[in-house]
Copies of this chain bind each other. A is one copy, B any other.
Amino acid sequence: MTKERILEAAERLFAENGFEGTSLRQITAAASTNLASVHYHFGTKDDLMLAVLNRRLTPINQKRLEMLDAIEVHPPPLSAILTAFYAPVVELIEGPGAEFLPLFGRILFEGGRSREFFFQLMQPVASRFLAALRSALPHLQEEELFWRMHFTAAILGFTMAGSHVLAWVSGGKCQLRGARDITERMVEFSAAGLRAPVHQRSSL
Q: Tell yes or no: A117 within 8 A of B by CB.
A: no
B154 with A158: CB separation less than 8 A: yes
Could you say how many copies of this chain the assembly holds? Answer: 2
B146 with A169: CB separation less than 8 A: yes
Q: Chain B's nearest CB lies how many Å from the CB of A158? A: 3
Q: Tell yes or no: A73 within 8 A of B by CB.
A: no
Question: How many angstroms between the C-alpha atoms of A177 and B147 in the bound complex?
Answer: 12
Set of chain B residues within 8 Å of A146, measured between Cβ atoms: 166, 169-170, 173-174
B142 with A173: CB separation less than 8 A: yes
Q: Tell yes or no: A162 within 8 A of B by CB.
A: yes
- The size of the chain A interface, using a CB distance under 8 A, is 65
Stretch in A58-66, A84-92, A190-198 with 4+ CB within 8 Å of B? A190-198
B185 with A147: CB separation less than 8 A: yes
Set of chain B residues within 8 Å of A111, measured between Cβ atoms: 16-18
Q: Chain B's nearest CB lies how many Å from the CB of A87? A: 13
Q: Tell yes or no: A155 within 8 A of B by CB.
A: yes
Stretch in A4-12, A34-42, A46-54, A100-108 with 4+ CB within 8 Å of B? A100-108
- Interface flags for A161-196 (1: CB within 8 Å of B; 0: not) read 110111011100110011011001110111111111
Set of chain B residues within 8 Å of A109, measured between Cβ atoms: 18, 102, 105-106, 109, 161-162
Question: How many angstroms between the C-alpha atoms of A150 and B178 in the bound complex?
Answer: 17
Q: Chain B's nearest CB lies how many Å from the CB of A146? A: 4
Q: Chain B's nearest CB lies how many Å from the CB of A150? A: 5
| Inter-chain pairs besides A151-B190, A155-B155, 11 sampled, C-beta below 8 Å | A106-B109, A143-B173, A147-B166, A147-B185, A150-B169, A153-B158, A154-B155, A158-B158, A181-B201, A184-B201, A189-B194
A positions within 8 Å CB-CB of B: 16-21, 102, 105-106, 108-111, 115, 119, 126, 130, 142-144, 146-151, 153-155, 157-159, 161-162, 164-166, 168-170, 173-174, 177-178, 180-181, 184-186, 188-199, 201-204
